[in-house]
Structure 1
């Protein structure tokens, strides 16, 4: 329902016109069904159905997006005229046309400002009241119809106020998202130039004569962390690409699972209590850089919010390879565990931010998933990678 004539959801002129067309189509079908109860006025009811159908076709087929923001309001005037014809065709019985009047006003409240709703009041009143007067309805019936008009207007005004509030919120969020995306992209790009300079200086120092073994280890550690910062910058760019296009291109190959984990853990502080459980000879088909990014994000989360020891497991589980990072901390409440991997998820002391959301995106890019499983004690962050993956 997102393309062609069936695109109904939205707030633009085209969507407003098509929603009105749906209401008119239903009204036309009801007019045809009314023939079963009132065959004496079959010709009138057929005329009502044809008017509904013609107005509905206009709602579906005309290029409303090129005709102005509020152009579908003309459909409302046509619908009020057909409503009056329908009331007259049913001999002044407004049992069905009264609710349709409220529906039309509700539709108008979703799409048009208050001034259009106020302008509708006169033609809507004439369309609804005139057939009752012409068919000689009792004063009580006409009086009840008078009450219906302010009710319909009030409902429409309430809907208009709520719709306007939601549109304002959506525009504000769109501006915030645009600013955030621009900031992320700029930060990721701007950090690369000074980082390249730092890396070049460190590499020259590493080759300098007279450095002690301790100096060499310090420079090597600084180079590893510089490489990690570069990968973090790449991760921010990945975030921007995922937000923009909804997908991420991966370079997957077969790697020894033990080597992958060992290479990634060299970026974790040396004094951390980390244990690994990986079957010898196990291989895993992943994008090496993204796998490392997943593992480091999970390790960062475990070290920050959990308690030692941190256990890293990789195992084959049916059609999946399974990476598990488990801590032995206080655990995470059930209500928070279900939303841990959401973007900017937060939960007070146990709050987590963007890292786990990136983990989920990278897992899904591999065709797997990321979940948090309760342990006693602690929690296990689990990422799966399917064995049968298309390149």
Structure 2
């Protein structure tokens, strides 16, 4: 982009009749050629320091530009600083120090060839140290930011591995514990059943935690979920999802002929999470409806509880945003991530009474 800007300014200089037009045309051609080279070359296939060669070519063109303008360095100085700053963002400090000699030659040689007075030549004693100092400061800051980013990447990788391992390892023993508690509850007296039921609720919470951690790990590891989208009967999709919940006081209102274009497994998770939240935090009845509205399909899960405080809504679909004694705050974040993977969006709309979680996705075509 710097070379592209320099080439355009050289063409402007020709139009303004500043300097030698033929030399300025050469400067413009060289700048535009370097810009094209910067865009077209697959630099990632070369050594990390390979693009620094563009900087050396840039210094040579800057020197030619100063000479073409008869020794006027008004444009050379700022571009020299910009080249140094660009180099500082991408290369180690040894390259910045190695640039000192070619940058000094590119600045001073045209001034000498055009017989500029000594006070003009002495400007290099100010410009070059300033350019190098700015570049070293930028390089230090950029290096710290890169180190921080790499450290965060390592932490996230460790966190993802830990969550995945925890979620997988806890499921098998948890199933055994849950089965044992159910057997004990059948043969226990009233007090024993209450104790077993309380333990079963906690095992169910741990299971939801494990499922949530697995969903988080899948979303984080892929960045953008790959979906197996196909035309799916909406009524069957909703009924299957509701069957995984308590099923009590849940009303389903879906057109039997409606087909939606979704990944059934992923979209089922959206419904399960929303219905589970409505049952857990709202009041009955919970109404699940799915209908077409123009060019979108609209899923709505409504409860008749106390609603959601206004202050909570901006962060409602964030990770660990809500949580509580029966949840960990991942459910709605997973809903949002899965909805966005379907090119849709989810919002919480106030109702009187209660709240409706509304998911809209593009309608199936044809």
Q: Is TM (by shorter chain) over 0.5?
A: yes
Q: Secondary structure at the match of 1:149?
A: helix
CA distance in 1, matches of 2:89, 2:111: 28
1:250 and 1:365 in contact (8 A); partners too: no
Q: 1:368 to 1:65 in 2, by over 3 A?
A: closer
The one of 255, 264, 285 aligned to 2:235: 255
In the alignment, does 2:338 pair up with 1:362? yes
The one of 291, 309, 312 aligned to 2:286: 312
Q: C-alpha displacement at 1:294, in angstroms?
A: 3.5
Q: Which runs of 5+ in 1 are unaligned?
A: 1-21, 268-273
- Considering only aligned residues, what root-mean-square deviation do their CA atoms show, in Å? 4.4
The one of 64, 67, 81 aligned to 1:88: 67
CA distance in 2, matches of 1:90, 1:250: 62
The one of 88, 98, 108 aligned to 1:129: 108
Residue number in structure 1 paired with 2:299: 322
CA distance in 1, matches of 2:89, 2:274: 45
Q: Secondary structure at the match of 1:362?
A: helix
Residue number in structure 1 paired with 2:44: 65
2:164 and 2:213 in contact (8 A); partners too: yes
Q: C-alpha displacement at 1:174, in angstroms?
A: 1.1
The one of 89, 97, 110 aligned to 1:110: 89
The one of 239, 249, 256 aligned to 2:216: 239
The one of 31, 34, 49 aligned to 2:13: 34
The one of 116, 126, 130 aligned to 1:147: 126
Q: C-alpha displacement at 1:357, in angstroms?
A: 1.1
Q: 1:224 to 1:264 in 2, by over 3 A?
A: farther
* Superposed CA offset, 1:306-356 (max 9, x none): 6x53652323462534323444156132xx5234323444799xx973221
Q: Secondary structure at the match of 2:316?
A: coil
* Superposed CA offset, 1:47-69 (max 9, x none): 33344355445545555434422
The one of 349, 357, 361 aligned to 1:381: 357
Q: Secondary structure at the match of 2:99?
A: helix
Residue number in structure 2 paired with 1:186: 165
- TM-score in terms of structure 2 length: 0.75
Farther-moved stretch of structure 1 (295-304 vs 96-105): 295-304
Equivalent runs, 1:255-334 vs 2, <5 Å: 255=235, 263-266=243-246, 276=250, 278-279=252-253, 293-295=269-271, 297-298=273-274, 309=283, 312-315=286-289, 316=291, 318=293, 319-326=296-303, 327-328=305-306, 331-333=309-311
Q: C-alpha displacement at 1:293, in angstroms?
A: 4.2
CA distance in 1, matches of 2:255, 2:113: 91
Q: 1:32 to 1:127 in 2, by over 3 A?
A: same
Q: Which runs of 5+ in 2 are unaligned?
A: none
